[in-house]
Chains A and B, each alone.
Chain A
Amino acid sequence: MKNIYYIYPILFLGLLLFACSEEDIPGEGEIADLTPPSAGFSFSESEDDHLTYLFSNESISSTDFSWDFGDGSTSSEANPSHTFPEEGTYTITLNSSDKLNASDETSRELTIYPPNYCPEIDAFIGDPCDDGDPETTDDTINEACICGGELPKIIPVILEAGFEDETLPDGTGDGRDSWRNDAGGVIQITSSPVFNGAQAAKLPSAGDRVGLQEIEISPNFDYKMSFYYTMKADPGTLTVSILSDFVTSLDQVADATIATIALTDNSDPDTYVRAELEFNTGNNDKVSIFFHNEGSECRLDDFLIE
């Protein structure tokens, strides 16, 4: 038991070696830094010069700032404005510190594009660009493509618009798969007469068939739908409509109708007649094309919306 006394000199020596350094001793009444700095910032392009950016300091509990703009320049202002040498991507770093030398650092990337450049469509304002219409092979300047103008007008894709076999995007389809619905029986397919290609849609005189297809479209734009039809000599009506909903019964059609046209030209059952229906999509980013007949057998072909 006596042996234990040699431990005291060792402890004492140890205390000497590991004693607190002076910085770590809290002063009288001192408390820890409860609100250390937190760095944050945002930036916006100057109205006058596309290379000049205004930086807004959003740091918390900070008194001193050190900016690195990623192009070799620095600043110690709180809210600097900086002109970059050229277009490109820069990493901006802000180091915010307080008077206790506690600090925080944050970085953000900034990409500067040439004036009038639209990154969304990788083109310059005023450039010729694709207007989305497959009919026009020469791409023309279209306002819808211009960045910073009106929102782009989607040209909707109508599947099996000509009722041809194997025209779905995956190369399958019987010409009417995209037109099936619960509001009426599936449409029939005819091979003669047709307006274009090898097939067209057929609605028998019983009036128990309905064609219905939902398409994606831009809200609040004017569109024009065109198609071709023909009717047999019996008196009857072919109704073609744009609906706001993908209806599940004929009762719902009236309430959902955005635009409609009633067609009665039965002068020649072998000659297709062009018809057009203009509509504004209103507050809908999807609409449905609807067609249905009463009294007379009808054929339809080649739907197009632009």
Chain B
Amino acid sequence: MNKHILNSTFLAVLCAMLFVNCSQDELDLAPLSAIGDNGFYQTTEEVEGAVIAIYDGLQEVPLREFALSEMRSDNSRTKSSEGDWAQFQELAVQPTNLVVGSYWAANYNVIFRANRVIENLDAVTDASLRDQFEGEAKFARALCHFNLVRAYGDVPLLDKVIGPEESDYFSRVDASTVYAAIDSDLTDAMGKLPSDMAFGRASKAAAQGILAKVKLTNGDYSGAQALCSSIIDGGNHSLMGDYHDVFYNEGNSEIIFAIPYIGDDANESQDFSFEMTAGGVVSGLNFYTDEFALVVEEGDKRDSTLFNYATIDADVGKFLTQSADARLCGNDWIVLRHADVLLMYAEAIMAGGASTSSFDAVDAVNQVRERAGLSEIEGSLTEDMLLHERRVELAFENHRMYDLVRFGKAISVLGDFAAANGYTFTATDLLLPIPQNEINVSNGALTQNPGY
């Protein structure tokens, strides 16, 4: 009898357990020992953490960028002419080149992090802060897509966080579609970002300036001119009096957007200063070419900043480190500064012509020349003068290759440069190869650029 009662009780308890069993909704799936995706991004602070992570990702982007924009042009070269690095100066980059792969990965990492912020914006309760975060994320997503489309041509366009199964997103999208998405992101960012942001975070002017460059690249000169004049008239940025201070007085008023680093800090430092300047003596990277040294005019005050006369080698004088540990450098990377905007303004007014006599255009270039202690341009400004001024003023700041392409001079200038140095240049060298490791894991979705 007792046994029977025990059995029925046991059965009843079992049945009860069936009914009151937890549903999956009631289970707390957030792991205790680590931060997972599912339990995170519930508060403003957590989303802001994701925003900071975007900037953390951006710190990876400039590390070896000099190879693909300066060394792959007539501005700089290696010292050793060996290995992966020499492929850039010889205009013979291989799909297996490590820098080509790491640049791709660094930019898509930022895009991934930006998309993470955008999909979690609802957790931010304050409307103006939500707008700011959205603006910062869209700015970074656009900047990195812009980096990618200029370097590789047609590239995958990621407008959301994707998983490994979403192979629709793996294939290359027509460059014009990528540019349209960049334009739309930057236009949104411009409307949402405050003009006054902490140094190192994207401001309204930063979005306007990058958008101006996007518009110049696509031949929308009127749109670019309006954006540049908005920055120039905005009054938040101006030319530094001394060219040297632009690079060695960090956080100055000329900087519109920079990626900050902290010296002697293992997490927040960079090593491009080591690779492309003082350390270059050892590593042998990013030395200025003889061709570059020749175009700097007599009496140009920028000379002592462009070149490092402390060593006998042809060292670049920008971004020289002041850190104790030579490989933990703190120099900020300048993405956009006021002088670039002034020169873009003149380019917009020239509007694809070979010259302009517009006072505003000539005056903008003369402001840059005046600081350099050079004679003013009188009469009309030609395309060649403008390209020359950009080359010297923005040397070793990773603009040269894309300036040549944008001005339509890349084939003739690099063709002559290659011929004079015994390299082989063809028009297909203007786009980098798609990294071979990315093609390998794309299940056939990524195709290689012609010429590789």
Q: Which B residues are CB-close (under 8 A) to A282?
A: 360
Instruction: Say whether B167 faces chain A, with CB atoms less than 8 Å apart.
Output: no
A59 touching B416, Cβ below 8 Å: no
Q: Which B residues are CB-close (under 8 A) to A283?
A: 222, 225-226, 229, 348
Residue from A56, A59, A149 within 8 A of B353 (CB atoms): A149
A42 touching B427, Cβ below 8 Å: yes
Q: Which B residues are CB-close (under 8 A) to A150?
A: 353-357, 380
Q: Which of B173-228 contact A (CB under 8 A)?
A: 221-222, 225-226
B222 touching A56, Cβ below 8 Å: no
Q: Which of A19-67 contact B (CB under 8 A)?
A: 40, 42, 44, 47, 54, 56-60
State the Cβ distance, A140 to closest chain B Cβ, in Å.
18
A220 to B229 alpha-carbon distance, docked (Å):
13
A47/B412 contact (C-beta < 8 A), A57-B451, A60-B450 known:
yes
B427 touching A60, Cβ below 8 Å: no
A114 to B355 alpha-carbon distance, docked (Å):
22
Residue from B222, B348, B416, B451 within 8 A of A47 (CB atoms): B416
Instruction: Say whether A226 faces chain B, with CB atoms less than 8 Å apart.
Output: no
Which residue of chain A has its CB nearest to the CB of B349? A220
Q: Which B residues are CB-close (under 8 A) to A79?
A: 424, 426
A149 to B222 alpha-carbon distance, docked (Å):
19
Q: Which B residues are CB-close (under 8 A) to A58?
A: 427-428, 450-451
Instruction: Say whether B292 faces chain A, with CB atoms less than 8 Å apart.
Output: no
A151/B448 contact (C-beta < 8 A), A42-B427, A44-B412, A221-B358 known:
no
A283 to B2 alpha-carbon distance, docked (Å):
98
A283 to B228 alpha-carbon distance, docked (Å):
11
State the Cβ distance, A214 to closest chain B Cβ, in Å.
16
State the Cβ distance, A278 to closest chain B Cβ, in Å.
12
Which residue of chain B has its CB nearest to the CB of A79? B426
Annotate B46-63 by CB proximity to A: 1 below 8 A, 0 otherwise.
000000000000000000
B448 touching A60, Cβ below 8 Å: yes
Q: Which of A208-244 contact B (CB under 8 A)?
A: 219-222
Which residue of chain A has its CB nearest to the CB of B229? A283
B351 touching A285, Cβ below 8 Å: no
Instruction: Say whether B361 faces chain A, with CB atoms less than 8 Å apart.
Output: yes
A220 touching B448, Cβ below 8 Å: no
B451 touching A220, Cβ below 8 Å: no
A57 touching B426, Cβ below 8 Å: yes
A220 to B222 alpha-carbon distance, docked (Å):
10
Instruction: Say whether B415 faces chain A, with CB atoms less than 8 Å apart.
Output: yes
State the Cβ distance, A50 to closest chain B Cβ, in Å.
13
A151 touching B352, Cβ below 8 Å: yes
Q: Which A residues are CB-close (under 8 A) to B427?
A: 42, 44, 56, 58
List chain A positions with a Cβ less than 8 A from chain B. Answer: 40, 42, 44, 47, 54, 56-60, 78-79, 148-151, 219-222, 280, 282-283, 285
Extra contacts besides A44-B415, A58-B451 (12): CB < 8 Å: A47-B412, A56-B451, A57-B428, A60-B448, A148-B354, A151-B353, A219-B351, A220-B351, A220-B356, A220-B360, A280-B359, A282-B360
Between A and B, 12 residue pairs with Cβ closer than 8 Å are A44-B412, A47-B412, A54-B415, A56-B427, A58-B427, A58-B428, A60-B447, A79-B424, A148-B354, A219-B349, A220-B358, A280-B360
List chain B positions with a Cβ less than 8 A from chain A. Answer: 221-222, 225-226, 229, 348-361, 380, 411-412, 415-416, 424, 426-428, 447-448, 450-451
4 tightest A-B CB contacts, nearest first: A56-B427, A58-B450, A151-B353, A220-B358
